[in-house]
Amino acid sequence: MIRGFCLVLLVAFFFALSEAKSSVTQPQAAKSFNISYIQNVRSCSYNVLITTSCSSPKYTRDEISIAFGDAYGNQIYAPRLDDPSTRTFERCSSDTFQIYGPCAYQICYVYLYRTGPDGWKPESVKIYGYNSKAASFYYNTFIPSDTWFGFNLCKSASSSHRHLGLRWWFVIIGLPFVFL
């Protein structure tokens, strides 16, 4: 009986471990992101903290833009965050931007756009909004040129919780059979 209980705990541990590993995501090119859906409403303010990696070039002359939003279609867009005269996006630095756009709920996606000759490697992006807790996105990779690149966690968060629920349901259902 104790052996069966230990087996169930071991299986549950592996389910939890596999779920934790699968929740770590890497930034990707946006396949269906369309900038034309951006709303031109400027009713809420967002503070965006972008940290540039220490393995990025010393400075960049590239044009950097950002778009982010929630799962309900509220999208915020800021073109041309870069400003070489103010040393924006230098290696090992953090830059804060105040961006206005439509009021959004929990921010669950962010895309960066880079065009230019230098290359740029952000470490992370953290977005603070009025209606949501801070959203953090860890890049630590060079942004490819001329493509929206980042994270869309809007759908994966709900589906991963649903899968986790099913996994635990099977463990709970199987538990009485171990003790028979």
pLDDT of residue 159: 43
> What domains does the chain contain, in order, with CATH numbers?
40-152 (2.60.60.20)
141 torsion bin: left (phi>0), alpha (psi -120 to 50), beta (else): beta
Average pLDDT in the chain: 78
pLDDT of residue 130: 81
Name residues of the chain where pLDDT drops below 70.
1-24, 32-42, 156-180
pLDDT of residue 3: 60
Which token pair is 109? 């996606």
pLDDT of residue 28: 73
pLDDT tens profile 44-71? 999 999 999 999 999 899 999 999 999 9
Which token pair is 106? 């929990």
DSSP 92-128: T-EEEEEEEES--SS--EEEEEEESSS---EEEEEEE
Residue 129 in contact with residue 64, Cβ under 8 Å?
no
pLDDT of residue 87: 84
pLDDT of residue 164: 43
